[in-house]
Amino acid sequence: MLTTAEIVKKVRDLEIKSKKLTSDIFTGEYHSAFKGKGMSFKEVREYSAGDDIRFIDWNVSARLGHPFSKVFEEERELTVMLLIDVSASLQFGTVHAQKKDLITEIAAVLSFSAVNNADKVGVVFYSNQVEGYIAPKKGRKQALYIVRELLAKVPKQKETRLKQALHFLNSISKQKCIVFVLSDFLDAQYSDVLRAASRRHDVIGIKVYDKMDIQLPDAGLLQVRDSENGKTYWVDSSSKSVRELYQEEFFRVTAYSSDVFKKAGCDLLHIRSGEDYVKVLQRFFLSRSR
């Protein structure tokens, strides 16, 4: 567990890194990706060259004898909600840091991206229950508070149940939110509640994983412990079939989450520890802005 001094230093380091990324790289992409997703009708005006023909108001045009376009305005602000998995499986990593550390960095970047664009940002921490809630607010203090809580959070439970967090989100958020779910998605049985959430919110999953989540090393007989249920197993990692089964299980779980998100009409990003998550997020923001 980090000391208070270590938390203060990490908060400062993450603020510097996140603010640089959001000012140099993400500001335009974030704005284009999400601003304008919530649009409200403002007025009708005469069609001008270059107007999008999809927004021609054909009823008004027919009545007045020449083309008119509908004009929309962006909603003044967005609310970004981060659903952050704090279960025990995130406390694992073989490349640079644990999966929890990667999630903390990404959450910090998303928080500062939101507040830099004058949007509200809030957090739901979850394991197999809701472990904490930070109501959405604007401003630098809110982003710093979120980062501090991320670094200091000690969950009461070890297992993962995304559906509990989604149920909680659906109960507290009546207005549309941009929702980022940060997890390794070693979970199941959340398809129905994800579909319900996606009908109201714009939900984006960010799956983090370690290279050893995919590939078991050939290291002979190993004693391993499931970090979430506490059970201990002996595994013969020198067996090719064992290593293949291990890899197949990773792809099975990954395929499940990908399928559930796709059927719910939601995006799911995959980020490996040690990978440049900045490029992954930037590509996603750019794809959304087209």
Q: What are the tens digits of pLDDT across the range 150-176? A: 988 989 999 999 999 999 999 998 788
Same domain, 57 and 131: no
Domain of residue 60, residue span: 39-74
Mean pLDDT, all residues of the chain: 87
Tokens of residue 26, six digits: 């993400």
Secondary structure percentages of the chain, helix, strand, coil, to 5 = 45, 25, 30
Same domain, 146 and 55: no
Q: What is the pLDDT of residues 84-131, one digit of tens each?
A: 999 999 988 887 789 999 999 999 999 988 888 888 999 999 999 999
Instruction: Map residue 273 onto helix, strand or coil.
Output: coil
Instruction: Map residue 150 onto helix, strand or coil.
Output: helix
For residue 265, pLDDT beyond 90:
yes
Same domain, 148 and 162: yes
Q: Name the pTM for this structure.
A: 0.82
- How many domains are there within the chain? 2
Bigger pLDDT: 204 or 44? Answer: 204
Residue 288: predicted pLDDT: 80
Q: Any idea what the CATH number is for the domain that residue 114 is in?
A: 3.40.50.410
Same domain, 154 and 103: yes
For residue 69, pLDDT beyond 80:
yes
Grade residue 275 by pLDDT with cuts at 50, 70 and 90: confident
Residue 223 makes CB contacts below 8 A (sequence gap 6+) with 232, 233, 234, 235
Distances (CA, A) of 265 to 174, 201, 246, 262: 19, 11, 29, 5
